[in-house]
A and B are shown apart, each in its own frame.
Chain A
Amino acid sequence: MNQIDLGMVDWARAQFALTAMYHWIFVPLTLGLSFLCAFYESLYVRTGKEAWKKIAKFWMTLFGINFAIGVATGIILEFEFGTNWSNYSWMVGDIFGAPLAVEGIVAFFLEATFFAVMFFGWNRVSKGFHLFSTWMVAIGSNLSALWILVANGWMQHPVGMIFNPDTARFEMQNFWEVLFSPVAIAKFTHTTSSSFIVGSLFVITVASWYLLKGRNTEMAKKSILVAAVFGLLSTAYAGLTGDESAYVNASTQPMKLAAYEGLYNGKAKADLVAIGILKGQKAPDDDTDPFLFDIKIPGLLSLLANRDAGSFVPGIKDLVYGNAQEKIVGVKAKMERGRMAVADLAAYKNARKSGDKAGSAMALQKFGVNQDYLGYGYFSQPEESIPPVKLTFYSFHLMVTLGCLFTLFFVVFLYLAYKNSLERHRGLLRLGVVSFFLGLLASQAGWVVAEAGRQPWVIQNYLPVHIGTSNIAAGNVQATFFMFLGLFTLLLLAEVKIMLKQINIGPEEV
């Protein structure tokens, strides 16, 4: 089969999205709750009060349930790489090998070793060593995330590498450039800080339920106090890292920035859309207002994107069709260079095969001139470079809106917990019970922005999604899509059931 099956591409994308989104239900809770467990245990060690020990052990049990159910769900993503995304997987193998190997070692030594001490070591190792182990689990879990996010960051902003036309692989030239890529750093800090918020909201959800039921009230109030402080600090941190992400996007993925702001026509002193409803249909070049309704903050987008309120922020139209005045090269011009790169790569391959040394040297030289535009050579129209604008826009605004509300939410909970009057505010406690689900929603929306917003690229500028797939039939992917749907739904139901049972038992039996 030589022709690509576009149905297969869509199913492979859907399957990857499904798996990643299910996996991401478990991960942020692990990342956030691990630190909260460490805080509670630190308070126990510092004060010597048994109440804090009971609290730490209770949240550790819920952490353990989530960890156990969620562990290895990410491995399925690796299965999919080999089966559905073999071209992509081959091409990035050399880049991803190092970070993922480090992740494996870190995960094994830090998590696996200290995890056992954290759960089995109460009263069997010293207080200090137990606390150290709990902190190591928290740090190890979050460091594991670093390496995955470095790999993801590289796909969004490929640096520290060269493309080897002999092996068809990207080869790492500078590990540190890959590790400290601004996209990877922004991605890691924003992802972990938002996961801390999710962990804090989880504690508030469970504790609010206890307060509404009038059970375990002292434990619930103490838990909320710590979670609200951690959550509040994390929202501030997530705000800063989110700002940094947008700033980095402006230079590395301007199309993504334009999509999540619904900005079609670029402008100087660009406004930030605070609230907006996009029109049903919109062509990138029709010069009509994309919004049915919007509230904008003047100049703020320019300030956030370029740290200059008067600066020009390119819109989708500028990026697709070019803007000579702002010296922006359009996709059409990039497509021409990309097609030359594809043709020169093919010529190099054929000349090498036939033993034509002069021909292969010439083709390689010509390929080198245009190789940075390789991915554009696979487009048939410039508009293919536009990501799904509505999905990206609404996901971004949902994430930001919820993030802002969480700040207010943590302030109120912290104030009332400090004043010891939470139980009198039953409406707020009901909101507290649903807050974890809003946190998960915001976290998932964040990933939709990151991944839908970077379409159509699987590797920015080098490889569009439809070229990265394997030559397999759509039917195969469809079948496994529904298998995963079933498997993950069962796992989720198991987690919810065991978690609810444990919450219902409460800290007494832990």
Chain B
Amino acid sequence: MPGYSQNNIFFKWQRTVVRFYLDGFRAMTVGKALWKIILIKLFVMFAILKLFFFSDYLHTNFSTDQQRSDHVLEQITLQSKIQAVEDKK
């Protein structure tokens, strides 16, 4: 890239930041176990729970915002919703 050399101030700054993080991670003692927990937790949350059990109801069942609005409007004006509570009593 023209004008982008290892002497470039931005490049030096980037290298310092990367080294700062790498050295920090290497020097961690408790942190290694914590990182394992964080990664497992995030995997369970996003790759399992979110993907298989927590689909967004409106985004899964409707393709446009107009359809979503219509559905919610239908839901909040539905007499059967109110009736369900009365029936239970």
Which chain A residues have a beta carbon within 8 Å of chain B's beta carbons?
Answer: 2-4, 6, 61, 64-65, 68-69, 71-72, 75-76, 79-80, 82-83, 86-87, 89-91, 116, 119-121, 124, 165-169, 342, 345-346, 349, 377-381, 384, 463, 466-467, 470-472, 476, 479-480, 483, 487, 491, 494, 498, 502, 509
Contact = CB atoms under 8 A, between A and B. Distances in A.
Nearest to A347: B77
B33 interface: yes
17 contacts: A4-B81, A65-B34, A68-B31, A68-B38, A72-B45, A83-B53, A83-B57, A87-B72, A91-B72, A120-B23, A349-B73, A349-B77, A378-B82, A480-B49, A480-B54, A487-B44, A494-B37
Contacts of A479: 53
A75 B45 contact: yes
A4 B84 CA distance: 6
Contacts of B12: none
A72 B89 CA distance: 40
B86 to A, nearest CB: 4
B66 to A, nearest CB: 9
Nearest to B74: A349
Contact of A87 (B76, B83, B84): B76
A397 B34 CA distance: 37
A76 B45 contact: yes
B46 to A, nearest CB: 8
Nearest to B59: A82
A467 B50 CA distance: 24
Interface of A is mostly: helix
Given A72-B38, A466-B81, 4 more contacts: A4-B81, A80-B54, A168-B72, A342-B82
Interface of B: 20-21, 23-25, 27-31, 33-35, 37-38, 41-42, 44-45, 49-50, 53-59, 65, 68-69, 72-78, 80-86, 88-89
Given A90-B72, A166-B69, A345 B53 contact: no
Contact of A90 (B25, B44, B55, B68): B68
Contacts of B72: 86-87, 90-91, 168
Nearest to A68: B34
A498 B30 contact: yes
Contacts of B38: 68, 71-72
B85 A68 contact: no
Interface of B is mostly: helix
B37 A124 contact: no
Contacts of B28: 119
Contacts of A69: 34, 37, 41
B76 A342 contact: yes
B56 A116 contact: no
Given A3-B84, A471-B75, A498-B30, A79 B49 contact: yes
Nearest to B77: A346
Contact of B76 (A120, A168, A509): A168
Given A72-B41, A76-B45, A380-B86, A116 B20 contact: yes
A391 B56 CA distance: 32
Contacts of A68: 31, 34-35, 37-38
Contacts of A349: 73-74, 77
A124 B20 contact: yes
Contacts of B31: 64, 68, 119
Given A90-B72, A91-B72, A498-B30, A345 B85 contact: no
Which of A346, A377, A476 has the most C-beta atoms of chain B within 10 angstroms of its own C-beta? Answer: A346
Contacts of B75: 87, 467, 471
Contacts of B30: 61, 64-65, 498, 502
A425 B50 CA distance: 51
B58 to A, nearest CB: 5
Contacts of A166: 69
A72 B39 CA distance: 11
A63 to B, nearest CB: 11
A83 B33 contact: no
Contacts of B78: 2
A76 B86 CA distance: 32
B57 A82 contact: yes
A82 B69 CA distance: 14
Contact of A480 (B21, B29, B53): B53
A342 B77 contact: yes
Given A86-B58, A119-B24, A345 B73 contact: yes
Contacts of B25: 120
A120 B24 contact: yes
Given A61-B30, A494-B37, A169 B80 contact: no
B85 A378 contact: yes
A72 B88 CA distance: 38
A346 B76 CA distance: 9
Nearest to A83: B54
B37 A378 contact: no
B50 A79 contact: yes
Contacts of B89: 380-381
A83 B56 contact: yes
Given A3-B84, A502-B30, A472 B77 contact: no
Which of B28, B30, B68 has the most C-beta atoms of chain A within 10 angstroms of its own C-beta? Answer: B30
